[in-house]
């Protein structure tokens, strides 16, 4: 495996690889990303091949300072500025009208571009050292579990990248919240690391809602996604023979007791699923978390893992 510690020397090597059109797996605070130079169409196309991702699913472009937005987005509405000011660097992605400076493969069908400034020092260092905005989806195969540790990376993906920079476990543990800011009232396309409540508090009002028939304007909206190999069942309580995640005292050593705080739960969720999946069991049972707004991102991932 090409897992390398994220030292300054290795980050410099990774930046060279990016500039040569290669792919690098980089740590972020949400999940590990499969990064390429966002301005290099060939490199961006390779991301889709390596992930086995449908071409119509646009990518998030990662920046290291707000000055980079001007070149990438043709408008930066006030609400988006407020959210960037409050949550960047961090687990928030803003969808803005594209200025057309990055590879077309990164942009959505309506000429939009998703932009995020990650809070991980290694991701920021890689963006700065390469001097390029980096297109980076989660570094998993399409529909599979996102990696939150270097060791989670699928060997098939590892083979096709220049290197995997190991930056330790991703602290947030679920993907960024994606907010569409191309309309007068911003709305969440994918719940994630920043809660709806915190976004509404920052905006001083409620977010817009999505039409229920919305087609796949966002790949995060496929009903199955984020899935381990095993079949996932959401249950009210785990039976003593089941393998899975519980809030109760574990009844066997294939049950993991999960924290009752949504952020602590999210932080370890994918790692727990990777670990249990590694046991090779056929079924994973997950005790459903409380139906409360702070659990929105976790609920979304569990629903999609079990669909
Ligand atoms: O936390 C994250 O967001 C991670 C790390 C690596 O930054 N990245 C990530 O990328 O989760 P990916 O490709 O797995 O998910 C991208 C999400 C999808 O739900 C997609 O719908 C949305 O971002 N997206 C990207 N570009 C978009 C666009 N132009 N319009 C609407 N949605 C977009
Ligand atoms: Mg993903």
CA distances 16 to 9, 142, 200, Å, are 11, 27, 40
pLDDT at 219 over 80: no
Structurally, at CATH architecture level, domain 3-203 sits in: Alpha-Beta Complex (3.90)
Name the residue with higher pLDDT: 110 or 50. Answer: 50
Q: Could you tell me the distance, in angstroms and rounded to a whole number, from the CA of residue 147 to the centre of ligand 1?
A: 15
pLDDT at 212 over 70: no
pLDDT at 9 over 60: yes
Tens-digit pLDDT profile for residues 73-124:
999 999 999 999 999 999 999 999 999 999 999 998 889 999 999 999 999 9
208: DSSP letter: B
Tell me which residue of 203, 182, 194, 178 sits closest to 79, measured CA to CA. 203
Instruction: State the Cα–Cα distance between residues 27 and 34, nearest whole angstrom.
Output: 9
Instruction: State the Cα–Cα distance between residues 189 and 58, nearest whole angstrom.
Output: 13
- How many CA atoms lie less than 13 Å away from 32 in the CB half-sphere? 31
At residue 197, the pLDDT reads 97
Q: Could you tell me the distance, in angstroms and rounded to a whole number, from the CA of residue 220 to the centre of ligand 2?
A: 7
Tell me which residue of 18, 5, 274 sits closest to 122, measured CA to CA. 5
pTM for this prediction: 0.96
Tell me which residue of 46, 97, 303, 89 sits closest to 190, measured CA to CA. 303
At residue 225, the pLDDT reads 80
Which atom of ligand 1 approaches the CA of 30 most closely? 1
- pLDDT tier, 227 (very low <50, low <70, confident <90, very high otherwise): confident
Domain boundaries, the chain: 3-203, 231-305
Contact 161, 13 (CB under 8 A): no
Which atom of ligand 1 approaches the CA of 220 most closely? 19
At residue 62, the pLDDT reads 98
């Amino acid at each position: 495996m090409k897992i390398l510690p994220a030292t300054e020397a290795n980050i410099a090597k990774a930046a060279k690889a990016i500039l040569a059109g290669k792919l690098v797996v980089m740590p972020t605070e949400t999940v590990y990303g499969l990064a390429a130079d966002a301005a290099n169409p060939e490199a961006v196309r390779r991301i889709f091949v390596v992930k086995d991702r449908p071409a119509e699913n646009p990518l998030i472009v990662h920046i290291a300072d707000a000055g980079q937005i001007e070149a990438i987005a043709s408008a930066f509405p006030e609400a988006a500025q407020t959210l960037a000011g409050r949550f960047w660097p961090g687990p928030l992605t803003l969808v803005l009208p594209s200025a057309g400076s990055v590879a077309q493969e990164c942009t959505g069908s309506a000429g939009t571009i998703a932009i995020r400034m990650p809070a991980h020092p290694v991701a920021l260092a890689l963006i700065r050292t390469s001097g390029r905005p980096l297109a980076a989806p989660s570094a998993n195969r399409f529909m599979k579990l996102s990696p939150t540790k270097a060791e989670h990376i699928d060997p098939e993906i590892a083979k096709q990248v220049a290197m995997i920079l190991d930056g330790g476990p991703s602290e947030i543990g679920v993907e960024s919240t994606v907010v569409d800011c191309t309309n007068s009232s911003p709305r969440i396309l994918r719940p994630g690391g920043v809660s709806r409540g915190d976004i509404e508090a920052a905006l001083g009002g409620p977010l817009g809602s999505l039409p229920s028939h919305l087609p796949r304007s966002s790949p995060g909206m496929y009903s199955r996604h984020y899935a381990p190999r095993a079949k996932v069942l959401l249950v009210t309580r785990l039976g003593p023979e089941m393998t899975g995640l519980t809030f109760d005292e574990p009844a066997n050593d294939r049950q993991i007791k999960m924290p009752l705080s949504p952020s602590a739960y999210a932080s370890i969720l994918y790692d727990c699923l990777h670990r249990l999946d590694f046991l090779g069991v056929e079924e994973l049972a997950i005790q459903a978390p409380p139906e409360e707004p702070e659990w929105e991102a976790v609920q979304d991932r569990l629903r999609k893992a079990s669909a």
